[in-house]
Chains A and B, each alone.
Chain A
């Protein structure tokens, strides 16, 4: 995936001025930046929840603006900062995307649950009554069930405790290896970026700069970027 000179204005503020980034298969790139620096905006332009004002985003050489939006979103899974579940059971939530494509099957749902480190016994539990950490893993399973090529993670551990955070991190890094996923992981925690990412990018003043390999991210940014 290639992001070239992407710009976006939200209201009067120019959040992205000219963002450039490329991602390879089987790679996690973490984007670190302060609140309001445009990290989430960048992710949302990739699956076209919003459109960039300028620049191009290509996948496999194809401009995403030329693709069918719904087909694009089925290939590009997104996990939000807060677990966003639909009313109903874990099974109903995880099979949501599959049902839209008319290819819902229990095997895929179970596999997605397993991949997101959730027990199969959770299938018929009320999704909204699980702990926040478990809910976030349900939303990860829901995306994984669609077998996306690209994962967009918008601070997926922001509302989780350290134990649940580590579990999600392990799950995602394992999936990257197993499925060769291309992952864009937004975080404001440099330590998390150094734990999970193959490369780290900094988003500041609307531009992306890559952190040179070997440089300590924590030293450069401190413990937390706000």
Chain B
């Protein structure tokens, strides 16, 4: 790829925004009523990514581990907060989502570093750490949303199991397993179709940057292993911790049934 020219880049970006004009035109003609939302989303996306690029450029140039860890902690906190909002009805969900996303992402990143697949420079740690945290956050959100829905819909079945002498762990197990499975389906489907329907993001980036396709593929596969393991750890942990919040020590379900 040719040398990057920021001014030329901006011009090219401005020209590609003709695609947005097309989107607005379709929305207006079809009376979809999403023009305002699209405008806000486009502006937000543009300003957030531009700000991020400036921030990353500064952080990468500083090459400081304390700053790198601070950035990861901020990502983690934002992820925990976003995921916690998905757990309507679960008391005090933030510590649960935070701990689960952290554990999933940390274990996966640690193994990646240990195997030598992931260099420890900020330029690698921040984007790949972001991937691990972001995907764990998505998995946790999906798992919690499904778990709360399953628990409410199966309130009577859970109470029937409890009244037959099951502990809360046994009574909730089918619904916890369903939630973990449901949360991982998008990641698993994504993995199944790697290289068939699309070339995934990290590999695309490496190929554009001129990397060897085999090396790019190896990296992409390792990243998927990382995402998958982080997701499994995070969802298992988040549902287990959520279950402890949903039942008390007398094995009583503390969530009201779906009305």
Count of chain A residues with Cβ under 8 Å from any Cβ of B? 25
The answer, yes or no, to whether A216 is at the interface (CB within 8 Å) is no
Residue B150 is within 8 A (CB to CB) of chain A in the complex? no
- Confirm or deny: B222 has a beta carbon within 8 angstroms of a beta carbon on chain A: no
> Is A97 a contact partner of B252 (Cβ separation < 8 A)?
no
Among A47, A50, A82, A84, residue most surrounded by chain B Cβ atoms (within 10 Å) = A84
Q: Which of B160, B165, B253 contacts A84 (CB 8 A)?
A: B160
Bound: A76/B156 CA distance, A: 17
A19-52 at interface with B (beta carbon < 8 Å): 47-51
The answer to whether A15 has its CB under 8 Å from any CB of chain B is no
- B157 interface contact, C-beta 8 A: yes
Bound-state CA distance A9–B236 (Å) is 35
**Do the beta carbons of B250 and A86 come within 8 Å of each other?**
no
Dominant secondary structure of chain A at its interface with chain B:
mixed
| A51 and B250 contact, CB distance less than 8 A | yes
Tell me which residues across on chain B come within 8 A of A209, comparing CB atoms: none
Please measure, in the bound complex, the distance between the C-alpha atom of A49 and the C-alpha atom of B162, giving whole angstroms.
8
Chain B interface: which of A66-74, A170-178, A180-188? A66-74
List the B side residues contacting A76 at CB < 8 Å.
163
Chain B residues near A86: list those with CB within 8 A: 157, 160-161
The residue that A70 contacts in the complex, of B157, B160, B167, B253, with Cβ under 8 A, is B167
A78 within 8 A of B: yes
A159 on interface, CB distance cutoff 8 Å: no
CB of A132, distance to nearest CB on chain B (Å): 14
Determine whether B29 belongs to the interface, using a CB cutoff of 8 Å to chain A.
no
B163 touches A70 (CB 8 A): no
Within 8 Å of chain A (Cβ to Cβ): is B251? yes
- Say yes or no for A208: interface residue by CB 8 A criterion: no
Which chain B residues lie closer than 8 Å to A100 at the CB level?
164-166, 170
Q: For window 129-174 of chain A, which residues contact chain B by CB distance below 8 Å?
A: 139, 142-143, 146
| Chain B hits for A73, CB < 8 A | 162-165
> A142, B164: Cβ atoms under 8 Å?
yes
* Shortest distance from the beta carbon of B140 to any chain A beta carbon, whole Å: 27
The reply to whether B252 and A51 contact each other, CB–CB distance below 8 Å, is: yes
Interface positions, chain A 104-149, Cβ under 8 Å from B, are 139, 142-143, 146
How distant is the Cα of A97 from the Cα of B165 in the complex, in angstroms?
Answer: 6
Per-residue interface assignment for chain B, residues 149 to 182, with 1 indicating a CB less than 8 Å from any chain A CB and 0 otherwise: 0000000110111111111001000000000000
Which residues on A are within 8 Å of B, measured CB to CB? 47-51, 69-71, 73-74, 76-78, 80, 82, 84, 86, 96-97, 100-101, 139, 142-143, 146
Jot down 12 A-B pairs with beta carbons below 8 A, ordered by A: A47-B163, A48-B250, A49-B253, A69-B250, A70-B251, A76-B163, A77-B164, A82-B156, A84-B160, A86-B157, A97-B165, A100-B170
